[in-house]
Structure 1
Amino acid sequence: MSEGTIGLVTTETRSEDAPKSCDELSGRKLLSPEAGCIAKILENCISEVEFVLTLPAFLKLNSLTCVADTELSRALQEHQTLAERLETLEGLRQESGGEQEKGSKERAQQDFKKSVKNLLRLVRARPDVISDFRLEQDMEVGESESILINELKKFHSHMVEKLLTSVSEELKQTLYKPTSSPVIPSHTMDLMNSTEEKLSAAITEKDAEISQQNIEIENLQSCLEEKNKEEAALSISGDKQHPNAKTMKMIRLEQEIDQLKTQLKSLKLEHRQAEGVILEKNEELEKDIESLLQNFDADMGALQTHLDFNEKEHEKELEELRKQEQSFSVLEVEFNQIQEKHRLEEEKRKQEMKDLVLKTKAAIYAQAWWRGYSTRKALKNKGKSKKAKKGKGKKIK
């Protein structure tokens, strides 16, 4: 990474985007020792990445104005010396390609790695020096470095949240997740569609830029080939006739070739950067789509479990209903028999009542007739006895 693209995040940006500590994320919850260790490792990793990104600025500051800390300043000087030595060995190896230079470069690389580890150790022990330096400097971080730091912070926050969630809570969230509808929510679909549209537009735009740059590269390469051919032809034809003109023209052509090579190199660099941006956006979109699909699969799984449970309950209720219907049919037959028995008994009782009424009336009629008969007979006998008494009286006179 070049020094132009590496910088520092400002204090305000760091205060907003810095990863939250374990206590801030956990609230009232506490992380286990293992989870706290994992979160601490992630925080150290983020701080080390930020320092590595600001290392060129530290080296530049150490070369211009001395750092207050003597040990840190000495370590920075040694690291800068090793970096320059490594660049020198790289250039020598490209020119000569010997085994000796290769071995020297490997040793220099090992020393360079040890120097980076030593700097990280010193920085961890001196956080005040780093914070003071960041307050003094006002530099912007490169786009790719900013993306890396933000993604690491997101990963740190996500991991702390996952570590704060117990297994039972995850199981409850999975079991009791709302499963009212298996359809993807509208806002999720809108987000996916808008993201896909933005990505397709960005890909189309970048493809057009890449195609234009490829055309420019091809034109530059063809120009270089033509210049080389012209240079070869001029060198063959004008060796003896115009040596001074040839020298001036060669210098001019070499300058043009150098300019074209510089343009070609810059275009290739822009091409790689544009391709990297497209790949990052594509990977981000694929991650979002994969996350949405996983959530959709989880929702569908929970819904299917709920439906299976409802089907089992429905089958149990149907079986219970069939049993109740069988019992009802038996009870209905018994009820009909009892009703028929009651009906027959009621008819018999009514018939007996009719017979009793008839017998009562007959008895009443018989009694009435007998009383009338007895009364008439008594009256008749009484009349006869009176007449007999009267007849006896007349005879006495």
Structure 2
Amino acid sequence: MAVHLGGSAAHPGGQTAQAAFGSLNKLMSNKTPSISRKKLASPEVRCIINVLDECLCKVTVSSVLPCELVNPESVSEELGEPAVESLSVHLRLAQEYRSLQDTDTSEDKSKAREVQDSLRNFLRHVRPHIDVEPVKTALQGAGPIVQEDQQAVQALRTGLQAIREVLIEQLMTTPREEWEQRRFRQEAGDRQKRNAKLLYSVEQEVRTANEHRDDVISKKDKEIQHMKYSIHKVERECEEFEDQVKKKAEQQYQSDLKNSEVKRLQLQEEASQLQVQLNRLTAQNREREVALRQKNNKLETEIENWIQKYDAEMQGKQ
């Protein structure tokens, strides 16, 4: 059992104990025996368990020892004055040991033994108390507790508890139960191997399916990329063709516009010439019309004269 000094240097092996029992706790976390359904077989087994229980009780008390006795009344009410004196001696020796902790001398080792003896002496006052909870409460109210020391001792207690469970499991297991456990472990191992093979087979199938899926996706991606390239090429060709058509249409429009302007000028000139011809012909027709009217009037006058002359001759003949 580690020596509790009631200070920051109280447990030089506390972290080592914590590491040592850490893996054991993991192994035993799922193997806690059902003590209520079993009966301790022999006095030897009960003696071993009682020793471990007493050790656990001492470690539990050590985890709540103060580093300074501020309220001794809390301890005296529960454990009595001799316990207070014993605790005071232990805390004093622990303080002296801390002052020598950086040295490696025979005095340092001697002081460490004195601290261990003083702790054992104090724990003797706790032994008559069956219920350790009132003792813990009294010590917690006696003064401040160094958390680092408390955590180290609690780690030791956890390891001892795991050892107790392992011993109970071993001591209370009959040969038949041990055989059944071996058979169960063998069956569990066989099932694990079968499951591992099945898992490997399923993983292979999944891997094959994933590879096939990846191949299909890769092919589809290539097809999509090819289609995108083809579409882009067609779009580019369409744009080029459209530009060429627009360019040719613009050129044709400009050419037609130029030709139409020339034709317009030509037609306008022809229209002017025809207008001149029309005006000349109109003037000629008017002159001819005047001449024809004059000739017609002359003929009408002559005809009128002939008629009158004829009428006169006819009257003379009558």
**More contact order relative to length (CA 8 Å, sep ≥ 6):** 2
Larger radius of gyration: 2
Larger helix proportion of the pair: 1
Query: TM-score category by the smaller chain?
Result: 0.3 to 0.5
TM (norm. structure 2) is 0.41
